Structure 1
């Protein structure tokens, strides 16, 4: 009888998130906890970190301090990896604050350790025109007014790349602690062209109240001033689409200038052609309430569902769910469904039978941001249901533990032809968010039935009850993938070799690694 040449034999593969083979600690709920190496811990924390936000088991300050310490440690150990990772975090994982903080902390550690490259790291994580000011505000709050040259020069490089007339009109507002002029004054950015030189001088003049005159080269700023002045007496001027666009008028400014003097439906109709993707997405309810005509709404929907626009927008998949919940009008539903599907295009297609376990314990009910509109269990549900739709056959289970008379697990029945957003609605309305403890081991043991693989979407904070890892009920020759949605320090199972692997994040970016492992190839970092 063969010992090795069996139908279940598969190549030994590895993945980048590595943990120790045996537990050295405990999860926050008392199960055996597997510590990860510094890069792995940093990756899982960074791709789920909104910075400054409380989580169920960590305070905002404790979490942020852990993140900064990990960045500094890894930046000294492997500056090249850190630079590639932080650049990807901003442009591939679409996380703004985590990338910005990481870039500054990495540059600080590199400068102190005599490691070159901090300037380039800082410049790479600043991708929007308000971010040079954000970077200075973070630095001075954390470390004072003495800014090291690599940080200063990286911010200057970003300012030269990002500061335009349009970005100045949008972001250089009195509400900011660091105005564009402050940034230019502190980092001594050198303009790339004569026209940008005129802009930089204007920004400095405006910051210090010397902007009575505007150079003729700054045509958009001049047009903006003229339109504002005219709108004071003749608000109908704000209905001219070409003038709005040429003046770089933001929708916030136009609404404020118009006040109640113009029909909101007409004003939104004029503004929509010059609005960016994110602005359209966040204003769907406003469009409905203002009575925007169907033909205008159809144009908005076409933009929202356009693959190129979705890719350029860098929206997290959860933003489409948030928009859907905020304005569930029938005229937006199909476009948002299409946008969500396209934003999850990186999810793999999996043959055979897959068990998808979605953690809906109480700790997963924490919000990603202060507004509390989206929870970690929302992300787990979206990713879990979307993945199941790409499987040849899938069983989807919500799990927690017995709590207030509820079952510890609930099997979610599929409906043929149902859209992903409607499935998420049904998950919520039919009570699949259980909100108890985290009996991961029990859920795996109860529902594993010869599946080809198991996918667990969780914060990994399994509760006490067994000294084995939570995947013990799955044979060693079957793949178990953990998708981490919180980034706490201890994992619930070993990871990185053979058939046990952990990934994470709030986008589909790292799911590509699952496809590599299924094909019998080692998975690398997604950057």
Structure 2
């Protein structure tokens, strides 16, 4: 989501995976684009997951030694501003390892703070330790231990224990406590730590202290549900017991009507839990009255901001939900998540890469592809332009007619229905030449793996700003780091906000 601009031009450094002119990035630019596009362990069209992850580790290690403050800021931003969990956790572990290997012991505790700061959810201390021990063994260095301990002290509560301390995790809360020895914040958390350890080690009848009211209520509700599952239809008891929707469904099983059980659970469900279960609500037959309450919450600006959901999540929910009763709420939520896209005066050429390599999943479940993200951001940007020409390109091109006043989700549906996903080669330069008619700026949403049909950078005059939105993070880019040639990255909209700044001649910078 940052620009990469240097006051120089140069010959191509190599070729892209498709044989086009390829330009190497400086190490920090390469790391940034890979970090914001890498889901870790993901197989991409051109780069195996293991190779991609190794490149990420190597780039983190080099940057941690050469640019420690910049790298620490990147990692914090990845988890906070970009809301990318795994890349931040892996990066923090590799940051500390590289600096310790180089003999760079930090007396100010910065290594410890980097680890603590990227851990923002109660299952993440165990995630980071699981990553470390799976790669480097049980000898965990002190900065990692202390950072994890700081996070556990901040994140471990009764409700987080009930939600995340499950047998499916290799590192349970008790394992984290055994390895890192955090000091409890007070007597109540001390009781919680004791309970977590007793439960992890299967000690007979783990003692539930009086301070653990939520844990006790949860145990009581489970016991009562074994005899009479109807107790699970009491929303108040579910809330007080910190019962997750997964556990409630498991306990209720087929003994309760699904609609009634969902309606009892919905008042205590989190925003993301509601968002991911819209299909289940419809299939169970949740009433329109209850659905209206969920929809109002999904569209609430404060809830959207607090949820920190990526724009892609709302598109995924829209496609998964069979009922149209969620469409308006998801449209509002999506627009709120795209609030940083600025108004762009004049004429803008927007080219959306729908080549075969963009038909590559963001994550292992494969529900959304890179070209879905390109279309989402491309159409969202077009709706903010005074005048925009939107082109889908691959081996051939088609012009997508923008309709003013059309909802973004409807526009995405129309893009698909009208056959604008081409699935051919990546003829970027020829697409630019075909459709450039003196527009004020050109924006390309792509994985940058252009074919050998010409140099993308020279396809428009050097005086015309050319902005590339990179959605893959491969090593080679299709433009040099030069004046009026910028590359952004990431799965949020914030980078687009820099277009007006860069065109005004202000210095673009990293988003952290």
Corresponding residue for residue 82 of structure 1: 71
Give the deviation of 1:477 after TM superposition: 1.3
Describe the SS at the equivalent of 2:469. strand
Describe the SS at the equivalent of 1:47. helix
Matched, 1:296 2:286: no
Q: Structure 2-normalised TM-score?
A: 0.97
* Range that drifts further, 219-228 or 312-321: 312-321
- Which of the numbers 489, 503, 507 marks the counterpart of 2:475? 489
User: Cα–Cα, structure 1 residues 395 and 141, in superposed 2: closer, same or farther, change >3 Å?
Assistant: same
Matched, 1:430 2:424: no
Query: Does the 8 Å CA contact 2:498/2:508 hold for their aligned counterparts?
Result: yes
User: Cα–Cα, structure 1 residues 112 and 272, in superposed 2: closer, same or farther, change >3 Å?
Assistant: same
Give the deviation of 1:450 after TM superposition: 0.9
Matched, 1:209 2:209: no
Q: Structure 1-normalised TM-score?
A: 0.94
* 1:423-459, Cα deviation, whole Å (9 max, x unpaired): 1111111111100000000000000001000000000
Superposition pairs of residues 92-111 of structure 1, within 5 angstroms: 92-111=81-100
Query: Does the 8 Å CA contact 1:55/1:366 hold for their aligned counterparts?
Result: yes
* 1:196-253, Cα deviation, whole Å (9 max, x unpaired): 0110011000001124321111000000000000011111111111111110000000
- Which of the numbers 488, 499, 504 marks the counterpart of 2:484? 499
Corresponding residue for residue 413 of structure 1: 401
Superposition pairs of residues 447-526 of structure 1, within 5 angstroms: 447-466=435-454, 469-495=455-481, 497-526=482-511
Corresponding residue for residue 22 of structure 2: 33
Can you give the 5+ residue segments of structure 2 that lack an aligned partner in the other structure? none
Query: Does the 8 Å CA contact 1:399/1:439 hold for their aligned counterparts?
Result: yes
- Work out the CA distance in 2 between the residues paired with 1:328 and 1:422: 15
Give the deviation of 1:518 after TM superposition: 2.4
Give the deviation of 1:350 after TM superposition: 0.5
Corresponding residue for residue 157 of structure 2: 164
User: Cα–Cα, structure 1 residues 17 and 197, in superposed 2: closer, same or farther, change >3 Å?
Assistant: farther
- Work out the CA distance in 1 between the residues paired with 2:90 and 2:293: 37
Query: Does the 8 Å CA contact 2:195/2:206 hold for their aligned counterparts?
Result: no
Matched, 1:241 2:235: yes
Query: Does the 8 Å CA contact 1:17/1:503 hold for their aligned counterparts?
Result: no
Describe the SS at the equivalent of 2:460. coil
CA RMSD, Structure 1 to Structure 2 (Å): 1.3
Matched, 1:155 2:155: no
Query: Does the 8 Å CA contact 1:358/1:381 hold for their aligned counterparts?
Result: yes
Describe the SS at the equivalent of 2:202. coil
Describe the SS at the equivalent of 1:348. coil
Describe the SS at the equivalent of 2:350. strand
- Which of the numbers 138, 144, 152 marks the counterpart of 1:145? 138
- Which of the numbers 38, 42, 55 marks the counterpart of 1:49? 38
Superposition pairs of residues 308-347 of structure 1, within 5 angstroms: 308-347=302-341
Give the deviation of 1:17 after TM superposition: 5.5
Give the deviation of 1:115 after TM superposition: 4.3
Query: Does the 8 Å CA contact 1:483/1:504 hold for their aligned counterparts?
Result: yes
Corresponding residue for residue 398 of structure 1: 392
Query: Does the 8 Å CA contact 2:457/2:480 hold for their aligned counterparts?
Result: no
- Work out the CA distance in 2 between the residues paired with 1:226 and 1:238: 11
Query: Does the 8 Å CA contact 1:459/1:485 hold for their aligned counterparts?
Result: yes
- Work out the CA distance in 1 between the residues paired with 2:245 and 2:18: 47
Superposition pairs of residues 363-378 of structure 1, within 5 angstroms: 363-378=357-372
- Work out the CA distance in 1 between the residues paired with 2:497 and 2:403: 27
Describe the SS at the equivalent of 2:390. strand
- Work out the CA distance in 1 between the residues paired with 2:276 and 2:248: 16
Give the deviation of 1:110 after TM superposition: 1.9
Corresponding residue for residue 177 of structure 1: 170
Describe the SS at the equivalent of 1:236. helix
* 1:389-428, Cα deviation, whole Å (9 max, x unpaired): 0000000000000xxxxxx000001223221011111111
Give the deviation of 1:261 after TM superposition: 1.4
Query: Does the 8 Å CA contact 1:111/1:150 hold for their aligned counterparts?
Result: no
Give the deviation of 1:295 after TM superposition: 1.3
Give the deviation of 1:471 after TM superposition: 2.9
Can you give the 5+ residue segments of structure 1 that lack an aligned partner in the other structure? 1-13, 402-407
- Work out the CA distance in 2 between the residues paired with 1:109 and 1:20: 33
Give the deviation of 1:21 after TM superposition: 3.2
Describe the SS at the equivalent of 1:472. helix
Corresponding residue for residue 7 of structure 1: none
- Work out the CA distance in 2 between the residues paired with 1:115 and 1:106: 12
Give the deviation of 1:111 after TM superposition: 2.0
Corresponding residue for residue 197 of structure 1: 190
Describe the SS at the equivalent of 1:460. coil
Query: Does the 8 Å CA contact 1:317/1:340 hold for their aligned counterparts?
Result: yes
Give the deviation of 1:513 after TM superposition: 1.9
